[in-house]
Amino acid sequence: MTKLTAASPIGIFDSGVGGLTVVRQIRALLPNEPLVYFGDTARVPYGTKSQPTIRKYAADDARLLLKYDPKLIVVACNTVSALALDVVKELADDIPVLGVIAAGARLAVEQSKIKRIGVIGTSATVNSGAYQSEIHRIEKNAFVFSKACPLFVPLAEEGLAAHDATKLIAKEYLTELLEANIDALVLGCTHYPILRGAIRETVGNSVTIIDSAEAIARDIKSTLTEKSLLNSSMPCVPLKLLVSDVPQRFKSIAEVFLGVELPDIELVEV
DSSP E strand boundaries for the chain: 10-14, 35-39, 72-75, 97-99, 116-121, 143-148, 184-188, 208-211, 240-243, 266-267
DSSP-derived letter for residue 38 is E
What is the tens place of the pLDDT at every residue in 26-79? 999 999 999 999 999 999 999 889 999 999 999 999 999 999 999 999 999 999
For residue 31, the domain's CATH number is: 3.40.50.1860
Same domain for 109 and 92, yes or no, is no
pTM: predicted TM-score of the whole model, two decimal places? 0.90
Of the pLDDT bands very low, low, confident and very high (cuts 50, 70, 90), residue 1 is low
Same domain for 235 and 195, yes or no, is no
Q: How far apart are CA 41 and CA 16, in angstroms?
A: 5
What is the span of the domain harbouring residue 45?
Answer: 10-99+214-267
Same domain for 105 and 95, yes or no, is no
Same domain for 69 and 164, yes or no, is no
Q: Which of 186, 212, 238 is the last residue of a domain?
A: 212
Domains: count for the chain: 2
Q: How far apart are CA 69 and CA 117, in angstroms?
A: 38
Q: Which of 4, 17, 76, 77 is catalytic?
A: 77
Same domain for 110 and 239, yes or no, is no
DSSP-derived letter for residue 195 is G
Q: Which of 126, 189, 246, 265 is catalytic?
A: 189
Q: How far apart are CA 119 and CA 139, in angstroms?
A: 15
Same domain for 166 and 115, yes or no, is yes
β partners of residue 32? none
Task: Specify if 185 maps to a domain.
Answer: yes
Task: Specify if 4 maps to a domain.
Answer: no
Same domain for 198 and 149, yes or no, is yes
- Give yes or no: 236 in active site: no
